[in-house]
Amino acid sequence: MMEKKYADRLQWQRVTEREFSINRVDSSIVTCLFIEKVREPLFVTYEKKHCIADNGYKWFQVFQDNLFYTVTIVVNSREEIVQCYYDLCLEIGFDANRQSPWFLDAYLDVVYLPSGDIFILDEDELQDALVAEIITQEQLLKIEAVTNKLVDSLKDKSEPLIRIFEKSRDNHEK
């Protein structure tokens, strides 16, 4: 089953103290999860180890209706971008009661590091979803096409959500 994921990340128990804000930039929504305190730091490995959640980190997430992906831009306590994590998605929405954007996760993810390195993650999960008939062949082809276009836009530095993040960054200052 596809998972609906929310920008507010209320279920994330690693984060013990947080602030969450939302701004509109043009036709996009930019959220900021300010991580005041964590139980323990979170590390991931893409060729080498990277800390992606710790005290004082910010997770900015950008949503735009006409794209089939969202990006979470992780900024450390020194205001440096650690990674841009793209979630491919089949649908984007906004929960008015919760006051948080959400997306229907399409399994495939793309990580873009400040070094310019790009990693495509969870291709096996996407194939498993097709075999289990959670997604259709048509959806798989669309996800793959969007991923290819996204990777090309990262390589030529034309990916639009990063620019939207840069325009909104000062509005979320803590």
Domain count, the chain: 1
As a whole-number percent, the residues of the chain with pLDDT over 70 amount to 97
| Side chain identity at residue 21, one-letter code | S
Are 118 and 112 spatial neighbours (Cβ–Cβ below 8 Å)?
yes
Element (H, E) at 28: strand 28-38
Pairing state of beta strands 69-75 and 81-95?
antiparallel
Cα end-to-end span (Å), the chain: 37
Instruction: Check which CATH number belongs to the domain holding 11 and give it.
Output: 2.40.380.10
58-68 pLDDT per residue, tens: 999 999 988 99
Give the domain range for residue 165: 4-172
Structure tokens at 101: 């954007």
pLDDT of 173 reads: 56
pLDDT of 1 reads: 72
DSSP annotation of 114 reads T
What pTM was computed for the model? 0.94
107-166 pLDDT per residue, tens: 999 999 999 999 999 999 999 999 999 999 999 999 999 999 999 999 999 999 999 998
